[in-house]
Amino acid sequence: MSTTAGIIIVGDEILSGKVHDTNSHFLASELRVLGVDVRRVYVIPDEVDMVASTVKEFSEGFDYVFTSGGVGPTHDDVTMEGITKAFGLGTTTSQEILNYLEKRCGGRLNEAVRKMAELPEGAEILEVEGAFPPVVVKNVYILPGVPELLRKKFRQIKERFRAEPYHLRKVFLNEEECFVAHHLDVVVSEFPEVMVGSYPKMSEKGYKVILTLESRDAGALERAFKKLIGLLPEEIVVAAE
């Protein structure tokens, strides 16, 4: 059984096009390397009920859930409230986070900032160095929306998610996708444990398509790779790795 994850990006700014979402791509890429199978990515607005219903669905459906955004001091930061509602929990003030905020803000600490220390009951605060600590409620890991902060925090805790890894091979072709699709069908049919992808590249010099083969079974991957290389005309294969 694979370890699964869902990613929830919270933010009106993403849905309105004001901000480009890079967090889902980062998390999906990092989790893939760790061996975690990301099954779904949702982008949702800053609405408590939407956060609550999505978090509940994801928490029940996946081993890990990662939220991004909605954890700051402003009026539209409603992720904590939504997660609290998702699990029917009360709230509590984290003295640890409050101490961190007081140290950072000094005399400028106000009620808006204090709300960042309000957590769902039972929330676990993960110990990290030099940053506002990540918080986990049940199997939901709550991360900030600022990409630099999200990346820093995730990298500090990522080893707890490591699972059986995926193995990957790539083939670069100087040929259109439509002329090799039938070869891919053969590989997909013979090696169901191997995931096969085909990705046209319109602006790359030297190749037109990247083929990928992925599997947790390294032996099956190598057999599928050799089968594919044997099917493809030698003159269209630019490189393989």
Residues whose CB is less than 8 angstroms from the CB of residue 147 and which lie 6 or more positions away in sequence, other chains included:
22, 23, 26
Domain 167-240 has CATH 3.30.70: yes
- The model's pLDDT over 214-232, given as tens digits with 9 standing for 90+, comes to 999 999 999 999 999 999 9
Residue range 41-92, pLDDT digits in tens: 999 999 999 999 999 999 999 999 999 999 999 999 999 999 999 999 999 9
Question: Would you state the pLDDT for residue 130?
Answer: 66
Convert the pLDDT of each residue in 111-163 to its tens digit: 999 999 999 999 999 987 766 788 999 999 999 999 999 999 999 999 999 99
Instruction: Look at the pTM and tell me if it is higher than 0.75.
Output: yes
Mean pLDDT over 164-177 rounds to: 96
**Which CATH superfamily groups domain 3-161?**
MoaB/Mog-like domain (3.40.980.10)
- Which sequence spans correspond to the domains of the chain? 3-161, 167-240
